[in-house]
Chain A
Amino acid sequence: MIELTAKQLADAIGRGDVSAAEAFDAYRERAAADDLNAYLWVAEERPEAGAGPLNGVPLAVKDLFCTEGVPSQSGSRILEGYRPPYTATVVRRLAEAGAPLLGKTNQDEFAMGSSNENSGFGPVRNPWDRERVPGGSSGGSAAAVAAGSAPWALGTDTGGSIRQPAALCGIVGLKPTYGTVSRYGMIAFASSLDQAGPLTRDVTDAALLYAHMVGRDPCDSTSLEHPEAIALPSSERLDGLRIGVPRDALAHEGVEPGVLAAFEATLARAEELGAAVVDIALPHADHALSAYYVIAPAEASSNLARFDGVRYGLRRDADEGLLAMYTHTRHDGFGPEVKRRILIGTYALSSGYYDAYYGRAQQVRTRIAEDFRAAFRECDLVATPTSPTVAFKLGERVDDPLAMYLGDLFTIPFSLAGLPAISIPCGLSEGLPVGFQLGGPAFSENRILDAAYALEQAIGFTPLEVGG
């Protein structure tokens, strides 16, 4: 049963080959036995599930989604043991659609990180190589799906937090168009960038899960109705599809040769399937990383102000009064990366610096969106490697935040422009998975999923052995 994809499992349950209870128990056992530190909480028993079309296929959910009565800590000690009184819209929708909550997965603290080493509850290990990181920030979700302790999982992507760990763990991760999935109940990192999406074993599962996530939510003013119904992909050809490649951006010195090789081989396959590969330019992509590391911390510095010890989570009482209570609570509760970003963000919004940093970064963001609009006159989808490198060793980059930030080089431009992008496994380098990123215009998820599916069939990537 464990070797089945989520779609196959849903079908098997539908046919009566296996019961939803059996499926849940099997995964519950595997999740409880997880030794990658992928889970921060695992369900004791099967929750009441909706009778929806997902037939009871259990779902692992990133810690930062609020789940009523269940720890929701966003990977932070400041929220240790926090059990919210309500459930995030998307988790509720999926439960109603028949995907009950299996467990809460580890993540970088407040989704800030690309290696999962910033979790307040210890790093997650990559099931391909336990000495290596699974990527981040949705590292627990990616590792759980890759290791077969969950059929599929929910993650969130702010600058690459679904796509990069999906790439490093050899699975599929979709970051949808900003606004198509409600953010209500997602513990915020950067509001204008955060977006929930699926981490799955294959493209079909990503389409199936996403199809049940979309829709406007009156509780999230930035959410909107997807103009298209999300369909399961079936096409095995790419005839007529124009795939744009930003050659200048790929020339970055940090891109590993093995990653480039797998990427180029995948482009060649795309051509074999009938696609045309064209060169495009994203002239402002060079500035994307710097703009992102102003905008995201700026919003985070404000979003994380609510963790003040007054109402929930950690509180360090101090005899010296209110200010001391605030500073002790936040000093003890937040990890170093979170503090670094709060400081950067606070500085970027300060009076006298706002225009030079936040204002400027927003201009870059507009330019990048314009770059994509121009590019999509030349091509239908844009392809890059998802991550410039394969999974790196635990501890390798912890003292070098800039090297860590470079991991998001190719994912961030899509995030800043609010555009959808998927990462699919496209081969191995040094025995580790390489991710192939395909992005498109707003609301082009169907086109992206179709193309990714065709490539997936052609690539025939062999996932980790998870059966048994």
Chain B
Amino acid sequence: MSTAYEPVIGLEIHVQLKTRTKMFCGCELSFGDPPNVHTCPVCLGLPGALPAVNARAIHYGLMIGLALGSELAPRSVFHRKNYFYPDLPKGYQISQYDLPLCRGGRLGDVRIHRVHLEEDAAKLVHVGESGRIHGSDASIVDFNRGGTPLAEIVTEPDIRSAEQARDWLQLLRVTLRQLGVSDVNMEEGSLRCDANISIRPAGSDELGTKTELKNMNSFRFIEQGIKAEIERQEALLRAGEPVVQETLHFDPRTGRITSLRSKEEAHDYRYFPEPDLVPIDITDEMLEAARAEVPELPAERQERYRTQLGLNEDSAKLLADRVELAEYFESVLAVNGSEPQAVANWVTELAARLDEGDPAASKVEPGALAALVGLLSDKAITVGAARQVLDRLVAEGGDPKAIVEAEGLGAIGGGEELAGLVAEAIAANADAAEKIKAGNMKAIGPIIGHVMKATKGRADGGEVTRLVREQLGL
């Protein structure tokens, strides 16, 4: 019998902070502008230029730490991380080393190891057909991105599968988005993820040799890349070969994993305290200001919706992940608080009609949606009619009750009218009626269809079924 292996995964996430200016100079952040227009002596690493810390970046760092429940450092201290590369104009990156701004914490089911601040590198553009460094004719540097504030979030190795990694990263993304500290856009590179991956025999407490999978730029590639690496490591171990500690690249086009560098080639970054910056004390005022800007975050909100409002898992998550839906949901609840799950369902229905739009900006007043849910629960309209009403509300706004009356969408209740229509339908579908009598309830479809057609969908399907059974003596 072959051994079952358990993956052990930790993530390192780089998040570009949405400050107005760069980490250590006054240049504006940008995306997609012509190259090298947002530069100055500081972010070009010109001789004699000195960094000055962007206070807003520290503020955002503190907000992230508070949101993740981290222990916050009493002082912000920067170090230099020394290495040569053309995208690193000073020959060192100003980063944080043994004194990160935030230590520990947790998000969902994954513990946080640390969060620290640093500056982003510039962007290398490889000229040539492939667009990659190998085989390119030349490499040119765009320093617009250089010096953008980054928060590096490092998790503990608590993740056990590629799917969990993807799901957790999505939770982190919505959390950071709702914090308002980053655009967290993977395509634009404002959210970047590396994964440290090892595997071990299931049940073992020891950690296997880990590899680092670099820079996967979509949630799908993260899942695919981690999966591929787990498989690669399993194949190695089953063949009796060791996993080698190295840095890897996943190519989503081929699904192949290639080595970028081995442990022997690893840099000695020669960290030392950045002498051009003085440590910044984190004052109570700074902490209060950060705390004041941390909103209720998705994980907490989801938990509150589940436990206090009794929403199902899917609704709670959907609403919590999109703060504009959650806020709209709560304003509908303020009008009609008796049926949270029904309100959640109809907010979902509304959201589906608005594409990615904010319902608060739509023509559907929260009071109107509350009224619609009320009409439904009073059985004054059917679900089908309610959908038609919602379509009208989205298009024109207005009052659901007025729409129902004007369009004659009111439900046809249990009265004589419906009983008559059911009798007609049975008569018109004698075959089906026979089958039902013979015990095949699935044959009821054409009869219900007949009634719905006659009532333009205003009949309650459950009531129709009851009447059919009654009239057939079942």
Which A residues lie at the B interface, using CB under 8 A?
64-66, 72, 74, 79, 82, 84-86, 88, 183-188, 190-192, 218-222, 298-299, 301-302, 304-308, 310-312, 322, 326, 346, 349-351, 354, 358
Evaluate contact between A187 and B48: CB separation under 8 angstroms: yes
Cβ contact of B90, chosen from A85, A298, A306, A358, cutoff 8 A: A306
With contacts A85-B46, A183-B50, A350-B268 taken as known, whether A302 is within 8 angstroms of B277 at the C-beta atoms is no
B42 and chain A: residue at smallest CB distance:
A219
Q: Tell me the chain B residues, 277-291 only, with Cβ under 8 Å from chain A.
A: 277-278
B52 on interface, CB distance cutoff 8 Å:
yes
Complex CA gap A434/B355 in Å reads 83
Evaluate contact between A311 and B272: CB separation under 8 angstroms: no
Instruction: Please provide the 5 A-B residue pairs with the shortest distance between their CB atoms, ordered closest to farther.
Output: A305-B91, A191-B275, A349-B270, A192-B275, A187-B47
Evaluate contact between B47 and A74: CB separation under 8 angstroms: yes
B208 on interface, CB distance cutoff 8 Å:
no
Contacts of B270 in A (CB 8 A): 301-302, 346, 349-351, 354
Evaluate contact between B50 and A79: CB separation under 8 angstroms: no
Q: Which of B46, B52, B271 has the most CB of A within 10 A?
A: B46
Evaluate contact between A72 and B47: CB separation under 8 angstroms: yes
Contacts of B271 in A (CB 8 A): 349
Evaluate contact between A221 and B41: CB separation under 8 angstroms: no
Contacts of A191 in B (CB 8 A): 275-276
Interface string of B47-76 (1 = CB under 8 A from A): 111111100000000000000000000000
Contacts of B278 in A (CB 8 A): 221-222
Contacts of A85 in B (CB 8 A): 41, 46
Evaluate contact between B48 and A84: CB separation under 8 angstroms: yes
**How far apart are A111's CB and chain B's nearest CB, in angstroms?**
12
Evaluate contact between A219 and B89: CB separation under 8 angstroms: no
B111 on interface, CB distance cutoff 8 Å:
no
Evaluate contact between A66 and B53: CB separation under 8 angstroms: no
Evaluate contact between A298 and B272: CB separation under 8 angstroms: yes
Contacts of A79 in B (CB 8 A): 47
Complex CA gap A277/B333 in Å reads 85
**How far apart are A242's CB and chain B's nearest CB, in angstroms?**
32
9 interchain pairs, CB-CB under 8 A: A184-B49, A184-B50, A221-B53, A221-B276, A222-B278, A305-B90, A311-B141, A312-B46, A312-B47
Contacts of B53 in A (CB 8 A): 221
Complex CA gap A408/B169 in Å reads 56
**12 extra interface residue pairs, beta carbon distance < 8 Å, beyond A74-B47, A85-B41, A186-B48:** A65-B48, A66-B48, A86-B49, A88-B48, A187-B47, A305-B92, A306-B45, A306-B89, A310-B141, A311-B44, A349-B82, A354-B272
Complex CA gap A24/B52 in Å reads 36
B53 and chain A: residue at smallest CB distance:
A221
Secondary structure of the B side of the interface?
A: loop
A76 and chain B: residue at smallest CB distance:
B47
B87 and chain A: residue at smallest CB distance:
A310
Contacts of A66 in B (CB 8 A): 46-48
Contacts of B272 in A (CB 8 A): 298-299, 302, 349, 354, 358
Evaluate contact between B46 and A222: CB separation under 8 angstroms: no
Evaluate contact between A218 and B275: CB separation under 8 angstroms: no
A88 and chain B: residue at smallest CB distance:
B48
Contacts of B90 in A (CB 8 A): 305-306
Complex CA gap A298/B80 in Å reads 12
Complex CA gap A86/B53 in Å reads 20
Cβ contact of B91, chosen from A64, A302, A351, cutoff 8 A: A302
Evaluate contact between B50 and A82: CB separation under 8 angstroms: no
Contacts of A311 in B (CB 8 A): 44-46, 89, 141
Q: Tell me the chain B residues, 104-120 only, with Cβ under 8 Å from chain A.
A: none
Evaluate contact between A310 and B89: CB separation under 8 angstroms: yes
With contacts A306-B91, A310-B141, A358-B272 taken as known, whether A84 is within 8 angstroms of B41 at the C-beta atoms is yes
Complex CA gap A354/B79 in Å reads 14
Contacts of A307 in B (CB 8 A): 47
**How far apart are B92's CB and chain A's nearest CB, in angstroms?**
5
B269 and chain A: residue at smallest CB distance:
A351
With contacts A308-B91, A310-B141, A326-B84 taken as known, whether A185 is within 8 angstroms of B268 at the C-beta atoms is no
With contacts A84-B41, A192-B275, A221-B276 taken as known, whether A302 is within 8 angstroms of B50 at the C-beta atoms is no
Evaluate contact between A188 and B141: CB separation under 8 angstroms: no
Contacts of B44 in A (CB 8 A): 311
B86 on interface, CB distance cutoff 8 Å:
yes
Interface string of B109-135 (1 = CB under 8 A from A): 000000000000000000000000000
A82 and chain B: residue at smallest CB distance:
B47
Evaluate contact between A306 and B47: CB separation under 8 angstroms: yes
Evaluate contact between B275 and A299: CB separation under 8 angstroms: yes
Evaluate contact between B45 and A184: CB separation under 8 angstroms: no
Evaluate contact between B91 and A218: CB separation under 8 angstroms: no
Contacts of A72 in B (CB 8 A): 47-48
Evaluate contact between A222 and B277: CB separation under 8 angstroms: yes
Complex CA gap A188/B89 in Å reads 15
**How far apart are A72's CB and chain B's nearest CB, in angstroms?**
7
Cβ contact of B48, chosen from A188, A308, A349, cutoff 8 A: A188
**How far apart are A402's CB and chain B's nearest CB, in angstroms?**
25
Cβ contact of A305, chosen from B46, B49, B51, B82, cutoff 8 A: B82
Contacts of A86 in B (CB 8 A): 41, 46, 49
Contacts of B80 in A (CB 8 A): 302
Complex CA gap A186/B277 in Å reads 15
Evaluate contact between A305 and B47: CB separation under 8 angstroms: no
Complex CA gap A304/B91 in Å reads 8
Complex CA gap A187/B268 in Å reads 25
**How far apart are B265's CB and chain A's nearest CB, in angstroms?**
12
